[in-house]
Amino acid sequence: MESSILLFLGSLLLHAAIGQYNVDDSGGTGPKFDGIGGLSGGGATSRLLPSYSTEAVSQIFDLLFKPNFAASLQICKVEIGGDGQSTDGTESSHMHSQDDENYHRGYEWWIMTEAKKRNPNIKLYGLSWAYPAWVGNGSGSPYKYPELTAGYIVKWIQGAKSTYGLT
Ligand SMILES: *[C@@H]1O[C@H](CO)[C@@H](O)[C@H](O)[C@H]1NC(C)=O
């Protein structure tokens, strides 16, 4: 998983050892604190997780997502696989081509589902690091044809809902 999560766990233990952090959220008009999140993405960063034993994976998910237990993450952000090298590896897209749709590829659906099982209130977040070439309609850019890019992302959101009940 993310080294940032490990760092976070480390600092959590440090704070626990030193004392208590008080957050005053009683007033003001500043930005709202939405919680603390973890990220699976930016290029196949969780690729090895499915290879661990069921028991070990279950413990890792508990440590990350179970409320009032270890990290207790409040946001789970995942990569929307885009069939392209997005830093450390490649994650599979839900649409290899414009007429292809599959919501069972890769491991991000599984991670979100396991997060939600442990914390039904966890917020989910998806981000593309890469796009299949067809999204650019031959331009090489996912920003030249915004209706294609928006449609592609909307399909992912709809697939998460219809296939897994994830919002
Ligand atoms: C893709 O590009 C072609 C030719 O450049 C254009 O005719 C077509 O409308 C474009 N597709 C979309 C969805 O914009």
Distance 94 CA to ligand 1 centre (A): 21
Which residue has its alpha carbon closest to ligand 1 atom 8? 137
What is the reported pLDDT for 94? 98
Question: How many C-alpha atoms does 137 have within 13 Å on its Cβ side?
Answer: 9
- For residue 154, the Cα-to-chain-centroid distance in whole angstroms is 16
pLDDT digits (tens, 9 = 90+) for 134-164: 999 999 999 999 999 999 999 999 999 999 9
CB of 145 within 6 A of ligand 1: the answer is yes
Which residue's CA is the nearest one to ligand 1's atom 9? 137
The whole-number pLDDT of residue 57 equals 98
Residue whose CA is at the smallest distance from ligand 1 atom 4? 137
Sorted by where each starts, the structural domains of the chain and their CATH numbers stand as: 35-164 (3.20.20.80)
Helix axes 54-65, 108-118, angle to 10 degrees: 60
Could you read off the pLDDT of 7-20 as tens digits, one per residue? 555 555 555 567 88
**Spacing, Cα 99 to ligand 1 middle (Å):** 15
From 95, 97, 99, 137, give the residue whose CB has the most ligand 1 atoms within 8 Å, as the site to mutate. 137
Tens of pLDDT, residue by residue over 38-95, are: 999 988 999 999 999 999 999 999 999 999 999 999 999 999 999 999 999 999 999 9
CA distances from residue 37 to 4, 73, 91 in whole angstroms, order as listed? 10, 5, 21
Instruction: Give pLDDT, residue 1.
Output: 45
Closest residue by CA, ligand 1 atom 11: 137
Q: What is the mean pLDDT of residues 16-37?
A: 78
Instruction: Check pocket membership of 8 for ligand 1, CB cut-off 6 A.
Output: no
